[in-house]
Amino acid sequence: MHETMVAQSLLATITTEAKKQKARPILAKISCGMLNDVNEEILSFAMEAITKGTRCEGVKIEVEHKPIRGKCNKCKKEFAFEVASPVCPECGSNDFNLLPDEPLVLEEIEFERE
Amino acid sequence: MYKVNIGRKILSANEEYANENKRFLIENKKLCLNMISSPGSGKTTILTRTIKELKDKIQIGVIEGDIQTDLDAQRIKATKAPAIQINTKGACHLSAAQIHKALANLPIEKLDLIFIENVGNLVCPSAFELGENGKVVVLSVPEGDDKPVKYPAIFAKSKALLINKIDLLNPSRDIDFDIEKVKNDARKLNKDIQIFSLSAKSGEGMDKWYDWLIKGIEKTRNS
């Protein structure tokens, strides 16, 4: 539901960059941790709605969700945590810590020259 | 077509306000807890009971977040505690800028503890840092015992979990709620989470929650 706020924040950054580049933004790539609850479809819909009539109209959104990382306290290995099977895949231990979730980041924008 | 690397946090505007709120709380040595849950889990009832039962020991202020109405702020004010209502007018979470403004309007010097009662929603509020010292997630018995697995973010990020309405776990009511499953699932996501099983209606289990709050206040005061 908060994708609209994310979209507004995103649009501000893309607009600033588009003005700087004097180019038309085509695609914005975003990454975030799994615990960020940002849905690509809803975010794309929100972007479509708020970019209408702006220089960013038509920009596509791609969201890459990074897995939640865990660190095993037994074998010390880092691993991708699965909510469905919460054990270390290396040694099967359930003694581990979850690492902080990756923040929501605008990684790159693809532009087309005007 | 060409690519430009950006590498910038999207919610940085919220984060700047959150950092400012954090600084303000550290300077004033105040404990601030962000309460998050589904609608109807009993957040306001927990708060009103906590305020009344601790009134001789500590002073509590509340920032209330709701989409519409000031019903919750009225319930808090009826206990004589200061309360500020924020209406998000449709937004599904509180943002750090709103908290920044509310903190400035609370009589901060008189308070020991500030609760933020977030908009009833188990998803979005977990993504917005407000500058608080910690999040407290409330899960009530009627919601079911599968919530930590279905909504992992808030359980992974909270300092404490309150399992509320345990008065309903009376065998005569025949409610399917495996409290041990909830505790185990929450601890798998968050080894350090403090878990309190309580009923804000009957008062059962509230004492351990109060002890934890008072320890937290003392720790903040001496930091």
Residue B178 confidence (pLDDT): 97
For residue B197, what pLDDT band results from cuts at 50, 70 and 90?
very high
Q: Is the pLDDT of residue A114 over 90?
A: no
At B130-171, the pLDDT tens digits run 999 999 999 999 999 999 999 999 999 999 999 999 999 998
Give start and end residues of each alpha helix (H) in B62-125: 71-77, 96-104
Asked whether residue B4 carries a pLDDT value surpassing 90, the answer given is: yes
Amino acid B90: pLDDT? 85
- pLDDT, residue A95, reads 87
β-strand partners of A33: A66
The answer to whether residue B58 sits within a structural domain is: yes
Chain B partners within 8 Å of A21 (Cβ): 4
What pLDDT score does A85 carry?
A: 81
Residue B4 lies in a domain: no
What is the tally of structural domains in chain B? Answer: 1
Which H or E run includes A100? none
Q: Is residue B6 part of a domain?
A: no
Distances (CA, A) of A46 to A4, A24, B118: 6, 19, 24
- Which position has the higher pLDDT, B64 or A102? B64
Greatest Cα pair distance in chain B: 68
For the cut 70, the answer to whether the pLDDT of residue B32 exceeds it is yes
Residues of B in contact with A69 (CB under 8 A): none
> At CB < 8 A and 24+ separation, what contacts does A51-58 make?
A51/A11, A54/A11, A54/A15, A55/A15, A55/A18, A55/A19, A55/A24, A55/A25, A56/A11, A56/A14, A56/A15, A56/A18, A56/A25, A58/A24, A58/A26
**CATH number where B17 lies:** 3.40.50.300
Residue-wise pLDDT tens digits, A62-109: 999 999 899 999 999 999 988 778 889 999 998 888 888 889 999 999
Decide if pLDDT at A1 tops 80: no
Q: With an 8 Å Cβ cutoff, are A97 and B11 in contact?
A: no
pLDDT > 90 fraction of chain B, expressed in percent and rounded: 92
Instruction: State pLDDT tens for residues A33-65.
Output: 988 878 999 999 999 999 999 999 999 999 999
Topology of A3-66+101-113 in CATH? hypothetical protein PF0899 fold (3.30.2320)
Which residues on A lie below 8 Å from B189 (Cβ)?
Answer: 83, 86, 98
Whether B155 contacts chain A with CB within 8 A: no
The first and second tokens of residue B113, run together, are: 């503890």
Q: Which residues from chain B sit within 8 angstroms of residue A68, using beta carbons?
A: 152, 156
Q: Is A16 helix (H, G, I), strand (E, B) or coil?
A: helix
CA distances from B34 to B118, B119, B159 (A): 7, 10, 10
The verdict on residue B5 lying in a domain is no
Beta bridge partners of B35: B117, B136
Q: What is the mean pLDDT of residues B195-205?
A: 98
pLDDT in tens, B73-115: 999 999 999 999 999 998 889 999 999 999 999 999 999 999 9
* Domain span including residue B92: 12-221
Q: CB-based contact (8 Å) between A86 and chain B?
A: yes
Q: And the tokens for A28?
A: 């914005």
One-letter amino acid for residue B40 of the chain:
G
Alpha-carbon dihedral B147, B153, B155, B159, rounded to 10 degrees:
-160
Integer-rounded Cα radius of gyration of chain A: 18
Domain boundaries, chain A: 3-66+101-113
- Nearest CB partner across the interface for B7, out of A38, A105, A112: A105
Q: Which amino acid is at A64?
A: E
